Amino acid sequence: MLRIGLTGGIACGKSRVRRQLAAAGFGTLDLDAVAHEMIAPGGPAYPDVVAAFGRGILAADGTVDRKVLGARVFADAAARAELNALVHPRVRDEEARRAAAHRAAGGRVFVTDAALLVEAGFHLRFDRLVVVDCEGGEQLRRLVARDRIEEAAARARIAAQMPAAEKRRFAHIVLDASGSLEATDLEARRLVDMLLARADPPPHPIPTEAAVQAALHHGPAEGPRGLDRCASRPAWAPRAAWRWRRSSGSSCLRSRGRGSRPRPSRTAGVPARKRWPS
């Protein structure tokens, strides 16, 4: 089964694209919706979130007021990290359960939609990453209209996420949703055809170890983008997601942009090269 990560900036149109993929028969999952289930009364993260942020985040009916909580975490990086630590592990468990069920039912493609796949380092576990992009002015206009907030608040929410240009560098596929709804739907149908063409397994599966060594040696053209040696970590990148070490502790890789290739690894049996083949 082909696993697809679907992401994009806030109010860029990725939810509409996900609905089009679902209409085509793909398994889809909105991680943001799952996160809301986790913090709903009776949800596994509800008591921890209330304990961490106080009863001031609750509405009169006892549910978490997402606007109150959102305003707090968007303005405070430490609070945002604390909320993610409470909610994300439970969300990942639910995603794994639903993906396994779709595979067992014979599904060919499963799409996971979330705004922060790249920032959290989750994009590395997908076969393809699709980034839904939108022109900056149009994104701002949509966010103000959708959430009925002031322009300054909308700009702050956009600034809290990875810059759009940086996110595009991690994509295997960039879908431009700046135009009309009809134009976005057309692009989504083209995406369906593209992914279905990739969904059939190769006639001779490649052993996992060989595939990993080839990706490290030749670059991530067919796998997750963004492996290279460690360097400084940008402010938006969680430390745990930014660094990855081999079990031997002898290598450290960091995220890198679209089209780039990792430097040669010291993996046993894979010789280093001075330059990459074209």
219 and 105 inside one domain: no
Of 14, 7, 11, which is closest to residue 144 (Cα–Cα)?
11
**Tens digit of each residue's pLDDT (9 = 90 or more) over 6-50:** 999 999 999 999 999 999 999 999 998 999 999 999 999 999 999
Residue type, 120: A
150 and 183 inside one domain: yes
265 within 8 A of 217, measured Cβ to Cβ: yes
pTM over 0.75: no
Q: Is residue 84 part of a domain?
A: yes
Please say which residue of 184, 199, 214 terminates a domain: 199
pLDDT classification of 160: cutoffs 50, 70, 90: confident
The range of the structural domain enclosing residue 207 comes to 203-278
Query: 107: Cβ–Cβ under 8 A, 6 or more apart, which residues?
Result: 1, 26, 27
Q: Is residue 118 part of a domain?
A: yes
Q: Is residue 259 part of a domain?
A: yes
Q: Is residue 37 part of a domain?
A: yes
For 130, phi then psi, to 5°, come to -105, 125
Residue 42 tokens read as 């009776």
**Tens digit of each residue's pLDDT (9 = 90 or more) over 179-224:** 999 999 999 999 999 999 998 766 556 566 655 655 555 445 555 5
Residue 119 or residue 250, greater confidence: 119
149 and 255 inside one domain: no
Number of domains in the chain: 2
Please say which residue of 141, 173, 199 terminates a domain: 199
Pairing relation of β-strands 109-113 and 27-30?
parallel
Q: Is residue 237 part of a domain?
A: yes
**pLDDT recorded at residue 77:** 87
84 and 43 inside one domain: yes
**pLDDT recorded at residue 169:** 92
Angle between helices 77-104 and 46-53 (to 10 degrees): 170
43 and 146 inside one domain: yes
Residue type, 22: A
